[in-house]
Structure 1
Amino acid sequence: MAGLYDELLVLLHGIWSRRWIALAVAWGVCMLGWLGVSLIPNGYESKARVYVNTQSLLEDKIGITQVQSQQDLDRVRQTLLSAENLEKVVRGTDLAQTIAGPRDVAGKITTLREHITVLAQADPSMIDISATSADSGLSDGANARIAQQVVQKLIDIFQEENLTGGRTETRQSLAFLDQQIAGRGKQLEVADKRRVEFAQRYASVLPGAGTISQRMDAARLEINNIDAQLVQAQSALSAMNGQLAGTPATLPGMTVGGGVSPLAQAQSDLAAMRARGWTSNHPDVIAAQRQVDNLRRQGGGSAAAVGGTPNPAYLSLKSMQAERAATVQALSTRKAQLQADLNTMTAHQIDEPGVASEQEKLDRDYAALQTQYDKLLADREEIRLRGDVKTETGAVQFRVILPPSLPNAPAAPNRPLLLLGVLIVGIGAGVGVAFAIGQLKGTFPTAARLERAVGIPVAGSITQVASTAQVALDKQRMKWFAGASGGLAALCLLLIVVEFIQRGTA
């Protein structure tokens, strides 16, 4: 530990013995450093905070979720620093007065991108926008104004992108969809024309509508349905025939005009006589009985009553029988027609198998194009509705919470700290130079170090004895050194005070 302490004392003695060199280096480094700090242009920063609310009940109703709205907002925030938007900033502020051509515009865009910050707070609806202007070719006031103008222009662009960017995107999407719909429409017309030409060419081969397989399946299904209906109709007709067989065609005992027939009158008179108690031997009974027998032999007593009265029930059943017979006939005819068509299609399918496959291909292509066409139409209507909701209903609420400020004091650089740092670096450089010189020179501060260096024992050392004049000179030099050192520190302090005064008066 004692050896280490001795070595430290030796190092300090070497540096102290070269203190004027260290002080000169410190002064030189500090002067150069402070000059460099003074040449650093002031940077003025302007800040603003905006509030963007994307919550909308109507958007939720049409399927635009809060996540989608927030994603749109993030996209706008991320593209705010695009080259196109930054060029608008350059041309919309006082920076336009400092450009002479496209190269200057590109340089300003690069500089702005490095000095603009767009940050979202913990609440995604709160967005902070800040910009710094530190152009050495402009005055402090001009830099402050430009910083404020840049932030204000960014807010205008941000609001424009949210309010009108949706219109542009919707218009571009609708134009693209209209182009696609027009193309699909032409393809549909061509496909439909091919189907019509194919149907006309094979009209005798392909009766009906649809593909051959579909038509054959439809025919078989309809034949099965007709078979079931035919069985029911035939059963109903058989039951009707049975009822008709047990129903008389006419009703006896009634004249055509609806009055009582002579036979019925005679039978009524005979029954009335017997009801009185007259016997069969009574002359009137015998005469009435003879009259009845004669009328019976004559067929009812008149020619008009020979056929009797037509039975209404029989006539109704006869009409129903004819109707059901016609139903059976119609079903049988339809079945025969379908069976003939089915046989024809089967025969043509066997004779010309390529016709069916070609027709299926045409129908399949047409159906695919029709599906795409309908989907494009639905997408166009959905995009139009979403665009109307976003742009016409004011779905995005934009409000500036903290307007862009006009900075009074520079935000950068931190000159007091830099001045103090230069002083420390200058002192360190002086000490380092003094230490390096001490290490390079071939002197030995102690007898022990000399003995270790040459390997020969040192008999002794002579202490330096200073005279009175030398002591007085050393004290005078110490005063000069203290003054020079204090002057360096005082100059640093003075520069710091001047910087604060400038900030206070800005």
Structure 2
Amino acid sequence: MQDLLDELLQYLRGVWLKRRYILIATWIICPIGFMYVSTLPNTYSSSARVFADTRSMLKPLLRGLAIQSDSRQELGLIVRTIKTKENIEKIARASDADLLTTNDAEYRQLLNKIRSGVRISGGGSQNMYNISFRGDDPKLAQKIVQGTVDVFIENTLGEKRLGTDQAQRFLDEQIAEYEQRLIADERRLADFRRDNAQYMVNNQGSYFRALENAKSRLEQAELELKETETELETAKKQLNGEVDFAMQDLSAVKTQYDGRIESLRIRLDQLLVRFTEKHPEVQETQKRLDSLLEQKRTFLSGRSNSAGMDGNPILQDLKATVNRLTAAVASRKVRRDQYLEQVSELQDKLDFVPEIEAQMTGLNRTYSITKDKYYQLLGRKESAVMSEKVEQSTEGITFRVLKAPSLQRTPSGPPRLSMLIGVLVASVGVGIALSVVFSLLSPIITSPKALTKATGLPIYGVVSATENSGMQRWEKKKTRIFIAANVALALLFAAFAVVNSKPQLHDLIFIQGLGAL
């Protein structure tokens, strides 16, 4: 630590011994810098304060019915785009600053001057905006601030109307486009249904559900057919039983066939004793016997009908039942055959159904999406129309100028006092830097330790400079010169500071005086 302090002291002694470079740097830089700062042109500033009131009584009433725009976001966008070329030209025309230019070069210079000088700050939750401009003409600065205020308000209201018009045009274009798409989807869906009508099942869910329903109907029809056939067989048996019963009542009636039948039976018994049933004569006799029995039965049936069997109510009911059941069996067979044909047809088309249903589902999905988007756009269109009517009837944003653009007769800049101090500090810094550099380039031994470090030899004693050598007088003289020069520099700085702190005195000396020269 001690070595570090010794080395630092060595540098300070070197700077002190080379202090003439500090004087040279300060007396070269300061006068030039002071004059430059003093001759800078005056700048005048003008400012205004504008309050943007975004509150409206209709907003809570129309929430959900009209489109609620973000007024703060719109204001922020206008602030960020206020320095575009178009807006700067509007400000130049609004402030009549463009009348001061005579050619394109001056006009472009004026636009750059306005762009760099205009400042807009504030905003936030309070919607309070400060608009200022700094220039070399106080009246022009006031006009430019007023023009900026006018353009800011005009752009905000105009941008809102322009945004509404653009939104409505965009919605109209999208509605027309989606309407055409909806018509095309409906046409494709209708064509697909017409081309694949044989695979379409109405009000029955899927094709497989329709097949299951058809099979179920077929099973029901077959069951009903079997039940009806069973009832018909039962009715026929009952009818035959009633007829046989009636025939038995007439079996005691004598007919011309009885003698012959009896003789044939006796003959048949005699033949069976001698021959088997397969004997030709036995078979011939049996046929003749059966024929006579059939003729007798026919005869007795005719007798029964003539005796009033057709008037029997039980037989009439049985015959009606048989006829009804016979017709029911026929109709149920037709229905069974029809259901069987439907099931067969559905099963034949079963391999094509999944693909058809997949295509149909895709078309329905596309159609549903397009229809939903179309109706959403129509709803947005209605909201946009209502929002436009609200904007026409009320102002969404109301501007109030809280502070009009001011006309400042006193210059607001440049900050000459700060700049003078900066010049002074910079010159001293340059002088110290030069002293350090030259002390390093031509080092001077200022202490026994430095000499020991430089030569590596021990120091046994130190001889001080005497009065007769003249070195002390010369050092004192240089010190007095250094102090005097710094005092003079301080006085020079004070003089420039006083002059620049008084605008009228500064203008009299540096503006009018130098202008006269």
TM-score with structure 2 length normalisation? Answer: 0.57
In structure 2, the CA distance between the partners of 1:345 and 1:434, relative to structure 1 (3 Å rule), is: same
Aligned to 1:128: 130
Select 1:165's aligned residue among 159, 163, 176. Answer: 159
C-alpha distance in 2, partners of 1:121/1:478?
59
C-alpha distance in 2, partners of 1:67/1:187?
30
Aligned to 2:46: 46
Q: Answer whether contact 1:163 1:391 (CA < 8 A) is retained.
A: no
Q: State the SS of the aligned residue for 2:52.
A: strand
Aligned to 1:406: 407
In structure 2, the CA distance between the partners of 1:367 and 1:436, relative to structure 1 (3 Å rule), is: closer
In structure 2, the CA distance between the partners of 1:27 and 1:504, relative to structure 1 (3 Å rule), is: closer
Q: How far apart are 1:397 and its partner, in Å?
A: 1.3
Q: Answer whether contact 2:46 2:408 (CA < 8 A) is retained.
A: yes
In structure 2, the CA distance between the partners of 1:34 and 1:346, relative to structure 1 (3 Å rule), is: farther
Q: Answer whether contact 1:44 1:409 (CA < 8 A) is retained.
A: yes
- Gapped regions of structure 1 (runs ≥ 5): 134-139, 221-339
Aligned to 2:500: 499
* Equivalence map 1:107-506=2 (5 Å): 115-120=117-122, 123-133=125-135, 140-141=136-137, 144-192=138-186, 212-216=200-204, 366-446=367-447, 449-454=450-455, 455=457, 457=459, 460-461=462-463, 463-466=465-468, 482-502=483-503
Letter in 1 for 2:134: T
Letter in 1 for 2:23: L
Identity value in percent: 28
Q: Answer whether contact 1:73 1:162 (CA < 8 A) is retained.
A: yes
Q: State the SS of the aligned residue for 2:48.
A: strand
In structure 2, the CA distance between the partners of 1:487 and 1:344, relative to structure 1 (3 Å rule), is: same
Q: How far apart are 1:170 and its partner, in Å?
A: 0.9
Letter in 2 for 1:151: V
Aligned to 2:273: none
Q: State the SS of the aligned residue for 2:409.
A: coil
Aligned to 1:26: 26
Letter in 2 for 1:156: D
C-alpha distance in 2, partners of 1:445/1:147?
61
Q: How far apart are 1:370 and its partner, in Å?
A: 3.6
C-alpha distance in 2, partners of 1:148/1:17?
56
Superposed CA offset, 1:465-502 (max 9, x none): 2599x96x988877665543332212111111111222
Q: How far apart are 1:395 and its partner, in Å?
A: 2.4
In structure 2, the CA distance between the partners of 1:153 and 1:345, relative to structure 1 (3 Å rule), is: farther
Q: How far apart are 1:36 and its partner, in Å?
A: 4.0
C-alpha distance in 2, partners of 1:148/1:467?
72
Letter in 2 for 1:129: I
Q: How far apart are 1:48 and its partner, in Å?
A: 1.8
Q: Answer whether contact 2:44 2:412 (CA < 8 A) is retained.
A: yes
Q: How far apart are 1:7 and its partner, in Å?
A: 8.2
Q: How far apart are 1:73 and its partner, in Å?
A: 3.1
C-alpha distance in 2, partners of 1:196/1:11?
99
C-alpha distance in 1, partners of 2:367/2:448?
110
Q: State the SS of the aligned residue for 1:444.
A: coil
Q: State the SS of the aligned residue for 2:431.
A: helix
Question: For the pair shown, which has the larger CA radius of gyration, 1 or 2?
Answer: 2
Q: State the SS of the aligned residue for 2:121.
A: strand
C-alpha distance in 1, partners of 2:404/2:344?
83
Q: State the SS of the aligned residue for 2:467.
A: coil
In structure 2, the CA distance between the partners of 1:162 and 1:60, relative to structure 1 (3 Å rule), is: farther
C-alpha distance in 2, partners of 1:70/1:44?
31
In structure 2, the CA distance between the partners of 1:190 and 1:38, relative to structure 1 (3 Å rule), is: same
Aligned to 1:330: none
C-alpha distance in 2, partners of 1:366/1:375?
14
Select 1:76's aligned residue among 75, 78, 93. Answer: 78
Letter in 1 for 2:90: K
Q: State the SS of the aligned residue for 2:146.
A: helix
TM-score with structure 1 length normalisation? Answer: 0.58
Superposed CA offset, 1:335-368 (max 9, x none): xxxxx9xx99996997696888877766665554
Letter in 2 for 1:31: P
Q: Answer whether contact 1:390 1:396 (CA < 8 A) is retained.
A: no
Q: State the SS of the aligned residue for 1:22.
A: helix
C-alpha distance in 1, partners of 2:395/2:4?
78
Q: Answer whether contact 1:59 1:65 (CA < 8 A) is retained.
A: no
In structure 2, the CA distance between the partners of 1:464 and 1:99, relative to structure 1 (3 Å rule), is: farther
Q: How far apart are 1:120 and its partner, in Å?
A: 2.6
Q: State the SS of the aligned residue for 1:164.
A: helix
In structure 2, the CA distance between the partners of 1:423 and 1:53, relative to structure 1 (3 Å rule), is: same
Between stretches 405-414 and 51-60, larger displacement belongs to: 405-414
Count of residues paired in the alignment? 371
C-alpha distance in 1, partners of 2:475/2:358?
119
Between stretches 376-385 and 432-441, larger displacement belongs to: 432-441
Q: State the SS of the aligned residue for 1:119.
A: strand
C-alpha distance in 1, partners of 2:57/2:178?
35
C-alpha distance in 2, partners of 1:349/1:128?
82
C-alpha distance in 2, partners of 1:447/1:75?
72
C-alpha distance in 1, partners of 2:399/2:26?
56
Letter in 2 for 1:169: G
Q: How far apart are 1:165 and its partner, in Å?
A: 1.3
- Gapped regions of structure 2 (runs ≥ 5): 211-337, 508-517
In structure 2, the CA distance between the partners of 1:214 and 1:88, relative to structure 1 (3 Å rule), is: farther
Aligned to 2:313: none
C-alpha distance in 2, partners of 1:378/1:504?
71
Q: How far apart are 1:416 and its partner, in Å?
A: 0.7
In structure 2, the CA distance between the partners of 1:9 and 1:191, relative to structure 1 (3 Å rule), is: closer
In structure 2, the CA distance between the partners of 1:444 and 1:99, relative to structure 1 (3 Å rule), is: farther
Q: State the SS of the aligned residue for 1:80.
A: coil
Q: How far apart are 1:182 and its partner, in Å?
A: 2.0
Letter in 1 for 2:399: F
